[in-house]
Structure 1
Amino acid sequence: MALKTRRPRYGRVIGTVYVSGVSVNAQMVELGMAWVYRRFAKDSVLFELERQAQADKRGLWADSDPVAPWEYRHNKRAQAAL
């Protein structure tokens, strides 16, 4: 089940996905497989899970200099404009 929270300007659904009552969002953040999207995140638990994943160098946090998806897209657009 997915609980839609909103659709920002690009039309993507921002929400929480649950499987058997478990938040897939939280699981992904806990494993270091996703960033917390600060602009829309309301659940402080996600921030703590991300902090712990960073401290434990899980998933993407094992990289010495991970790049957030929004930064990656911004950099790509800036390069294309050159």
Structure 2
Amino acid sequence: MGQAPAGEHAPYAYRPAEPAPLGVPLVPTGDPGVDALLGRLADADHLTTDGHLEVYEDVHRGLRDALTALDARPGPPAPPTAHGHRS
């Protein structure tokens, strides 16, 4: 087999780029758990594209759990209504 003519690429010549960091800065949220989850996104920088989904799903699950935990925490009592009952 001969080489592909100049300007044409042979099918076997394709080489995907190596994984590289995107360089997106992370701003701390002040919540150590959330900051750790967001920091995990940097793990995707060292994976090929097919490995990103696992990282994104893991971070999404963690953030969803953190939001759910906010709803589960007891907050201040509800203010009384006009009828003197709490809602």
Higher relative contact order (CA 8 A, sep 6+): 2
Task: Verify same fold: TM over 0.5.
Answer: no
Larger radius of gyration, structure 1 or 2?
Answer: 2
Q: Give the TM-score, by structure 1 length.
A: 0.25
Q: Report which of the two has the higher share of strand.
A: 1
